[in-house]
Amino acid sequence: MTKQLGRRCIIYLAGSIVYILAVITSARYTLDAEVKFVWFLAAYLIVGFEAFRRLQESLMQKKFMTEYTLIILATAGALGIERYAEGVFVMLLFNMGMLFEAFSTDNTKRSIQDLINIRPEYATRLVRGKEFKVDPSSLRPGHAIIIKPGERIPADAIVTYGISDIDTKALTGEALPRSVGSGDKIYSGCINLSAAVEAMVIGAYEDSAVTRIMKMVEEAQDQKADSETFISRFSKIYTPAILLCALAIMIYPSLSFSYGNWDTWIYRGLIFLVIACPCGLVLSIPLAFLGGIASAARQGIVVKGRNYLEDLSKADTFIFDKTGTLTEGVFRVTDIRAFNMTREELLEIAAHVECYSNHPIAQSLLKEYRRQVDKKKVYRMREMPGYGVSAIFEGKRVFVGNKKLMEWQNIACTDVRQAGTILYVAVEKIYAGYIVIEDSVKEDTKDTFKYLKDKCNAVLVMLTGDTEKGSIPIAKELEMDYAYVNLMPEDKLEHVEDFLSIQDRTERLVCVGDGINDAPVLARADVGIAMGALGSAAAIEAADIILLEDELPGIIDAIKISKETLKVVNQNVVFALFIKLVVLALAVIGFFSMWEAILAELGVMLVAFLNSAWVAKYTV
C-alpha cells in the first residue's frame, strides 16, 4: 500500500469513528443543537476530505459538473436541513467507492516489478595505454574506452580498434547480434559479445541512448491523456440534470399549485438532492471493474487500472513489435541448399564448425542437426567477428559465415536473396552450399490477428528495428496493413504519434511489445500491452496490461474480459438508475424518507457486488 493510500485509509477510518461516536452520543444524550452540528460537521469534513480535494482539482481544471460537485452539494444540503446522520452516511458510502477503486489500482501496481536499470555499473577508460575503472557519468566526448566481452557499452561511441558482435536487443529488440568494426557507431546499454574493442566516446552519458529511452518513457507517460472514465462522462449529464430537477422541486410548486409553501418544497428539494447522490453508481462501477481486473489476473493478465479495460474494449488500431512479440525470437533453419554433397552432410559440417560458439545462429544449427557433435573432429577453430568462423573438420579447412567472408577468402558463391540470414559454407575454399536461418512466427499469431480483424475491425501495424528483408515477408505472411522497419525507439514513438493524431474520440490505439526499446511506445499508447514472461522490466513498467504467459491469444482474452466487464458496468448503471428514479419519484410525493432511500441505495450496492462477483469468476 502506498503512503498516500495509507493516509486516505487513516483519514477515512478516523472520520468513521467520529461519525459513529456522534451517532451514539446524539442517540443516548440530549445535545445542544450547536454541539450536535459541530460533532457531525467534524465527521463530515474528515470523511469528505478526499472528495473536497478532488472537487478542488476539478474546479482548477474548469470542470464544474462532476460527481464530486453533486455529492458535496447534496450532503451539504442534508446538513443544512439538519439531517446530519444521513448526510455524513451518504458521504461515507461515496468515499467507500473511491477507496475500492484506489485499492484495486494499488494492488495491481504492487504486482509489477521495479523499472529495470540497464545502465552499466562502470566504464573502463584508457589513459596512455592504462586501464582505469570509472563511473560512466564521468565519461566525456573524446575519451577512449575499452569494452570487453560480456560488458555493457557505457556510452554512445565509435569503434576505433577491433571487431566484435554486439547484442543490440536492449535498443532494437532484435535477437540476432550485429557485427561492428572500426568506424561503426555503438550505443550504450548494448552488450559486447565476442571480442574486446576500443572506442571513442562521442556523447555525454546524460545524452546516451539508454538515458534518452528512459526520458522518452517519462515524457510519453506525461503526454498520455487519462481517458475519461464512465462515471466522469455520466456525471456531465447526470449532475446538471439533478440540480435542475432539485431547483424545479423547490421553486415550481411554491409558485403554482402549492403557492407560498416554500418551507415544504425547499425541504423536499433538498431531500431529492440527497437521495440523488450517485453512491450506488460510484461504488457499483469500481466493483464491476475490480471484478474484471480479478478475472484477468486469474487468467494470467495483469491490468493496472480500470480505464485500460474500458479503453481496450474500444481499440481498433494495434501496433506490434516483431521479435519476441510476433515471432519466437529464436532462430531456426528453414532451408538448406548443398552442392556436390547431401543436405545432411552440409548441415553436419556447419554444425561441427560452429559447435564452440554461443551465437544464436550456431545454436540453431546444432538444434537442427539433432545429433551429438563430435568435437574431437574439430580443431584450429578461428572466430572472425563480423564474418563467421573457420576450423579444421576431418582434416579439411572449412569456412562458415556471411557473404563478406566468402569475398574475403576469394570464394565464388551464389548471390542468395531469400528472406532470413544466409550462412555460406565452403570446404577447402570450394563453395559447398548455403543454409537459411529465420526467426519463426509464433504459432497463434495468425488466429489472434483473425480475431482482431473480424471482431475489432482492427488496423494491424508492425514497428521493428529489424531489416526490411527480415520483416516485410513476415508482415506479408500475417497480412498486416502497415510495416515500418530499421527503427530506433524514437522512430517508433514518432510513428505512434502519427497514428494517434488521426484518431477520433471513439477510437483507441494499442501497442504490444516486450523490450526496453518498446517502453516509450507502450507508455504513450492508449493501452500498452507487454509480454511479461520474457519481456524486459522496463516494458513491463511502462505498459498498462501485462500478459504473464507471453502468448498473443492473451490479447483476445483481455478484450473479451473488457467487453464483459463493460456489459456488467452497464447492467449495474441501468439497475441503479431504475431504483434511483423510483425512489426519487416516491420521495417527491412524500412516500419515502431519507433513511429508506439510503436502505434502497444499500440494496443497489449489494446487487452490484453480486453482479461484479460474477465477473470476477468469468472465464474466457
pLDDT at 362: 82
All 3 cell numbers of residue 403?
557473404
374 is catalytic: no
| Architecture per CATH, 294-326+443-560 | 3-Layer(aba) Sandwich (3.40)
Q: Sheet with 157-161: list strands edge to edge.
A: 130-134, 123-127, 144-147, 197-201, 157-161, 185-186
Helices (H), 81-191: 84-110, 169-172
Radius of gyration of the chain (CA): 33
pLDDT at 111: 45
pLDDT at 171: 60
Helices (H), 61-138: 67-80, 84-110
Write down the pTM of the prediction: 0.64
The ranges assigned to domains in the chain are 1-110, 123-207, 294-326+443-560, 328-441
Cβ burial, residue 563 (10 Å; 0-12/13-18/19+): middle
Q: For cell 579439411, name the residue.
A: 396
Q: Give the 3-state secondary structure of 541-599.
A: HHCCEEECCCCCHHHHHHHHHHHHHHHHHHHHHHHHHHHHHHHHHHHHCCCCCHHHHHH
pLDDT at 547: 86
Render pLDDT for 178-197 as a digit per residue (tens, 0 to 9): 788 888 888 887 888 878 89
> How many CB atoms are located within 10 Å of the residue 380 CB?
9
Residue ranges in the chain whose pLDDT is less than 50: 108, 111-117, 220-221, 223, 225, 227
- Residue from 165, 321, 466, 544 carrying the catalytic annotation: 321
Superfamily per CATH, domain 328-441: Calcium-transporting ATPase, cytoplasmic domain N (3.40.1110.10)
Q: Is the CB of residue 494 less than 8 Å from the CB of residue 485?
A: no
Q: Is the CB of residue 605 less than 8 Å from the CB of residue 283?
A: yes
Task: Give the H or E element holding residue 508.
Answer: strand 508-513
| Architecture per CATH, 123-207 | Distorted Sandwich (2.70)
Render pLDDT for 432-463 as a digit per residue (tens, 0 to 9): 999 998 877 888 899 999 999 999 999 999 99
All 3 cell numbers of residue 91?
458521504
Q: What type of residue sits at position 566?
A: L
Cα–Cα distances (Å) from 542 to 62, 317, 537, 557, in that order, read 30, 19, 9, 21
